[in-house]
Copies of this chain bind each other. A is one copy, B any other.
């Protein structure tokens, strides 16, 4: 079974390489009658665009989304949506100096092991470019879920070792790092400037919150809601860890500290992160993902060439300092996709005829 599809009832299949003609996605299983437009998708794609932030590259990447099927008179029809974005600014020449070298931290060495093919023109299918398709389809999932008041947002709680101490979600959109702590945002900016000068890059942590999720989503025992969220988020290239609720901190707690007392109108605390036994409990869903530093750095690194000879590499060009904050909307999208699928699965589950 090939690996370019995600979801079961609300199911996407993505395609495209960074240096081919374009990238895109088929969204299959979106119910009919959902209000949708290229504009709704474009807005979400624009949030993935580089430029606003010091942490991001200045590559111009307009990314116009085109819907080729599945929409009629402003509503989904129930048939597959094909959303396509053409590649415009793909200078494969920029990669020519590295054509003979494996890039540390990149997928070129494992793709060659897997497929027996050396495509030196940038990341190909392993490029972050493929996340365009995630965001475009995440926008569709979001459009579906907004009809039932489910909303997802992602924000930066750590960058380059600088941690947000506050969760002031109202100010997230006001700083270039999408950080809910304005003081931390300033420190992040300084940290980024420093590292940029060094020719190095930074990792961080993104937190995602889903609000309005009704209790009952998630399927025992393998397709638990947290299991599918973990898969969806870990499948993003730069992500190396996923935790729900108290997550790794739970490891150091006792049961009496970690259990959430149950009150008549909900839970007293939310160590569970909104998910109990793999099923949503009606509380906010809280997830954190660890984002590794961008592997493309201008600092010299040890590597080998394609004939296995020792060499060094220093990657020049317009690379981001961190996948954050552009990755944040990708995280949101994956959470929307998981929730849309489980929302529809639960509809099939509930049979009123019995």
Contact = CB atoms under 8 A, between A and B. Distances in A.
A223 to B, nearest CB: 3
Contact of A111 (B84, B232, B279): B279
A246 interface: yes
Contact of A204 (B117, B251, B354): B251
- Copies of this chain, complex-wide, total 4
Contact of A5 (B5, B110, B160, B202): B5
Given A9-B348, A107-B278, A109-B281, A15 B220 contact: no
Contact of A302 (B123, B214, B263, B301): B263
Contacts of A33: 115-117, 351, 354
Interface in A273-311: 273, 275-282, 290-297, 299, 301-304, 308-310
Nearest to A158: B251
Contacts of A16: 68-69, 80, 82
Contact of A26 (B4, B68, B79): B4
Contacts of A332: none
A259 B301 contact: yes
Interface in A1-43: 1-6, 8-11, 13-17, 20-24, 26, 28-29, 31-35
A268 interface: yes
B69 A20 contact: yes
A304 B263 contact: yes
A299 B256 contact: yes
A1 B28 CA distance: 8
A35 B304 CA distance: 30
B250 A203 contact: yes
A63 interface: no
Given A17-B69, A347-B350, 8 more contacts: A15-B70, A23-B69, A110-B215, A110-B277, A113-B282, A195-B254, A240-B250, A250-B290
8 closest pairs, A vs B, by CB? A107-B277, A3-B219, A3-B223, A241-B243, A31-B351, A2-B29, A147-B353, A231-B231
